[in-house]
């Protein structure tokens, strides 16, 4: 209980005051609540297994078995996780999360806590950004209704640009975390240079093509 209190005080008090966190709900209770709701409905509950942890449970189609609906539970977050990226931003990252239980659009509840978008590149420098991904549920456009959801891994997309962007995206999130899961400032410059180099390549290729045509 002390771990939950610490987590609440440091990172979750506004969401608790908003009524966005259900609290002490076990997996079975979460399953019973979510299976009767449209796909993409989620709830926030304190973890049964991780002391001082909170998890997201949501209902969705099984990506590996058509017609089967399941309730999924994300690996619990702790204070360390929220010191890297806030709960609201993590929820924003996950497009398959649509409605906070029972039926509130997530942006109505969490948008006021989202971190403002990064400004455009200045003087040729690109700012790296950490985002959360659940590969099995990565989709470019969220399913707006309660029908069967279409889950697509961007890395398998037919679009070359989407595939390349996903590679950069994964590289940033991995390289900016040390083995203990903490933000490592020593790696940020290397990551930024890497991103800048990757973003410059298509322009160089376009310039070469234009010169050949002329």
CA distance 147 to 144: 8
Q: What are the residue boundaries of the structural domains of the chain, listed by start?
A: 2-116
More confident residue, 186 or 131: 131
> What pLDDT does residue 127 have?
74
User: Could you tell me the CA-to-CA distances from 10 to 65, 78, 86, 109, 130 in Å, in that order?
Assistant: 40, 11, 11, 19, 21
> What pLDDT does residue 138 have?
59
Please compute the mean of the pLDDT values over residues 202-210 and round it to a whole number.
Answer: 44
Instruction: List Cβ neighbours of 199 (8 Å cut-off, separation of 6 or more).
Output: 126
Specify the DSSP class assigned to residue 115: P
More confident residue, 148 or 189: 189
Positive/negative CA dihedral, 117, 120, 121, 123: negative
pLDDT at 186 over 50: no
pLDDT 10s digits, 59-117: 988 877 888 899 988 888 888 888 888 888 999 988 889 999 999 999 999 999 998 87
> What pLDDT does residue 87 have?
87
pLDDT 10s digits, 124-153: 777 777 777 776 665 543 333 333 332 322
Kindly indicate the confidence band of residue 1, based on its pLDDT and cuts at 50, 70 and 90.
Answer: low
pLDDT at 210 over 60: no
> What pLDDT does residue 41 have?
93
More confident residue, 2 or 64: 64
Residues 59, 69: contact at Cβ < 8 Å?
yes
- The CATH code that applies to domain 2-116 is 3.30.505.10
Tell me the Cα Rg of the chain: 20
Question: Which of 83, 90, 2 has the alpha carbon at shortest distance from 46?
Answer: 2
* E strand intervals along the chain: 21-23, 41-46, 54-61, 69-73, 99-100, 104-105
More confident residue, 1 or 146: 1
> What pLDDT does residue 34 have?
93
Kindly indicate the confidence band of residue 185, based on its pLDDT and cuts at 50, 70 and 90.
Answer: very low
Q: Residue for token digits 């690996």?
A: 75
- What mean pLDDT is reported for the chain? 68
pLDDT 10s digits, 8-45: 777 788 888 888 888 888 889 999 999 999 999 999 99
Q: Quick one: 174 exposed, middle or buried, by C-beta within 10 A (0-12, 13-18, 19+)?
A: exposed
> What pLDDT does residue 79 have?
81
CA distance 100 to 86: 17
């Amino acid at each position: 209980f002390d771990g939950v209190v610490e987590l609440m005080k440091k990172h979750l008090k506004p969401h608790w005051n908003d009524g966005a966190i259900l609290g002490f709900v076990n997996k079975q209770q979460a399953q019973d609540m979510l299976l009767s709701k449209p796909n993409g409905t989620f709830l926030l509950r304190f973890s049964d297994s991780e002391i001082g942890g909170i998890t997201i449970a949501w209902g969705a189609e099984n990506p590996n078995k058509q017609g089967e609906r399941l309730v999924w539970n994300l690996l619990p977050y702790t204070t360390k996780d929220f010191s890297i990226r806030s709960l609201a931003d993590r929820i924003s990252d996950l497009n398959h999360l649509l409605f906070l239980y029972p039926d509130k659009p997530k942006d109505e509840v969490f948008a006021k806590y989202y971190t403002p978008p990064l400004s455009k590149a200045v003087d040729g420098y690109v700012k790296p950004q950490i985002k959360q991904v659940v590969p099995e549920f990565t989709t470019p456009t969220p399913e707006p209704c309660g029908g069967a959801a279409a889950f697509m891994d961007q890395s398998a997309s037919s679009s070359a640009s989407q595939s390349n962007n996903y590679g950069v995206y994964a590289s940033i999130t991995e390289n900016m975390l040390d083995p203990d899961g903490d933000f490592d400032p020593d790696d940020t410059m290397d990551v930024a240079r890497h991103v800048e180099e990757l973003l410059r390549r298509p322009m160089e290729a376009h310039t070469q093509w234009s010169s050949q045509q002329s």
